[in-house]
């Protein structure tokens, strides 16, 4: 479904992606984790060509997105929904108008149908009473869910999530995780999730990839990931207290 072939990307003297190759299968939830600045968001921005690779090719099915331009690029992008880290809702539009925006601007659908669909998608993300509210009137978690409703209104084949749980409390984070999982089941979409949140990665991912110094040092199922012997994976698991208990628990004063 999504294939990276020897993709490299450099910002100034810093190599962000280094000969990166991997493949994401249709219908799976592929989670990319890693430390800050390791190129996780850069990777998903390449999938929708918000960034172009210095070297290598990126395929979305049979479409070569890394070389697409103009109408071809627009067509490929319509296969995606993207939930941005900061939701990226237009502040002067209501939640309902934000959700309906891709249809209102990209199709000739009557306004009533757009509104009905927007309302449906808002219900799908458990928001039924915010249609007429502006983003500034909503909490961070609600804004993320409105962003998610907007991402799915065109029924995309692939949904990209850029840090879907960042800045949210643990309870709201788990609600977002449940939503990601339910959308995969209900809509049968392929999901790519970029996150720092290992708990979230382990609960929603069908495969987890650890990005370190521009390379994916581990790609495996959650069960295999926890058992991995790779030092970078061990460090990441330890830092999240998955395999190592915190000091206050092992050495109580």
Partner 1 sequence: MIITREPEFLPETPNVFARLGRAVLLSCRESGRALLMTGEAFLHMRTMFSTRSRFDVMYQLYITGVKSLGVITVVALFTGMILALQTGLELRRFSQQVNIGTAVCVSLTREMGPFMTALIVAASVGSAIAAQLGTMTVSEEVSALEIMSISPIRFLVMPRLVALLVMMPLLTVYTDIIGIIGGAIVGKTQLGVSFRAYFDNAVAFAHNKDLYVGLFKAMVFGVVITAVSCHQGFCTKDGAVGVGLATRKTVIVSFLTILVLGYIITRVFYK
**Whole-number minimum distance, CB 51 to partner 1, in Å?**
6
What is the closest distance, in whole angstroms, from the C-beta atom of residue 206 to partner 1 in the complex? 24
CB 148, min distance to partner 1, A? 12
Q: How far apart are CA 89 and CA 225, in angstroms?
A: 35
Shortest spacing between CB 8 and partner 1, in angstroms: 14
**Contacting partner 1 within 114-153 (CB under 8 A):** 150
- CA–CA–CA angle 92, 170, 227 (5° rounding): 125
**Gap between the Cα atoms of 111 and 7, Å rounded:** 42
Using CB under 8 A as the binding criterion, the count of chain residues that bind partner 1 stands at 28
Nearer to partner 1, 111 or 221 (CB): 111
Sign of CA dihedral 55, 230, 173, 251: negative
Least distance between partner 1 and beta carbon 58 (Å):
15
**From 21, 23, 106, 185, residue interacting with partner 1 (rule: CB under 8 A):** 106
Decide if residue 198 touches partner 1 (CB under 8 A): no
Q: Please identify, among the stretches 101-109, 202-210, 222-230, 235-243, the one whose residues bind partner 1 according to the rule CB under 8 A.
A: 101-109
Q: How far is the CB of 87 from partner 1 (least distance, A)?
A: 9
| 104 makes contact with partner 1 (CB under 8 A) | yes
Provide the mask over 51-90, with x wherever binding to partner 1 is found by CB under 8 A and - wherever it is not.
xx---------------------xx-xx-x-x-xxx-xxx
Out of 23, 26, 50, 116, which residue is the one contacting partner 1 (CB under 8 A)? 50
**Which DSSP string corresponds to the chain?**
-EEEEEEEEEETTEEEEEEEEEEE-TT-EEEEE--TTSSHHHHHHHHTTSS--SEEEEEETTEEGGG--HHHHHHHHTTEEEE-TT----TTS-HHHHHHHHHHHHS---HHHHHHHHHHHHHHTT--S-TT--GGGS-HHHHHHHHHHHHHTT--SEEEEESTTTTS-HHHHHHHHHHHHHHHHHH--EEEEEES-HHHHHHH-SEEEEEETTEEEEEE-HHHHHH---HHHHHHHHHTTSSS--HHHHS--
Of the two residues 21 and 111, which places its CB atom closer to partner 1 in the complex? Answer: 111
Q: Which is nearer to partner 1, 1 or 88 (CB)?
A: 88
Residue 102 touching partner 1 (CB under 8 A): yes
Binding residues for partner 1, per CB under 8 A? 11-13, 48, 50-52, 74-75, 77-78, 80, 82, 84-86, 88-91, 101-102, 104-106, 111, 150, 154
């Amino acid at each position: 479904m999504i294939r990276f072939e020897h993709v490299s990307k450099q910002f100034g003297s810093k190599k962000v992606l280094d000969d990166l190759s991997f493949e994401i299968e249709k219908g799976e939830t592929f989670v990319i984790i890693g430390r800050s600045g390791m190129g996780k968001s850069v990777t998903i921005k390449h999938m929708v060509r918000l960034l172009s690779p210095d070297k290598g090719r990126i395929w979305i099915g049979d479409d070569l997105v890394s070389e697409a331009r103009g109408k071809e690029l627009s067509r490929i992008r319509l296969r995606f929904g993207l939930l941005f880290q900061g939701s990226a809702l237009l502040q002067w539009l209501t939640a309902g108008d934000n959700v309906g925006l891709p249809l209102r601007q990209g199709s000739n659908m009557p306004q009533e149908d757009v509104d009905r669909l927007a309302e449906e998608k808002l219900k799908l993300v458990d928001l039924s009473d915010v249609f007429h509210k502006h983003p500034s009137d909503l909490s961070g978690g609600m804004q993320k869910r409105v962003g998610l409703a907007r991402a799915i209104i065109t029924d995309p084949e692939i949904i990209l999530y850029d840090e879907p749980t960042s800045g949210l409390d643990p309870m709201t984070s788990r609600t977002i995780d449940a939503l990601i999982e339910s959308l995969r089941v209900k809509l049968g979409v392929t999901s790519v999730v970029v996150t720092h949140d290992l708990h979230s990665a382990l609960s929603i991912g069908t495969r987890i990839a650890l990005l370190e110094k521009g390379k994916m040092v581990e790609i495996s199922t959650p069960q295999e990931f926890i058992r991995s012997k790779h030092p970078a994976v061990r460090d990441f698991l330890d830092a999240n207290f998955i395999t190592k208990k915190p000091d206050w628990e092992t050495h109580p004063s």
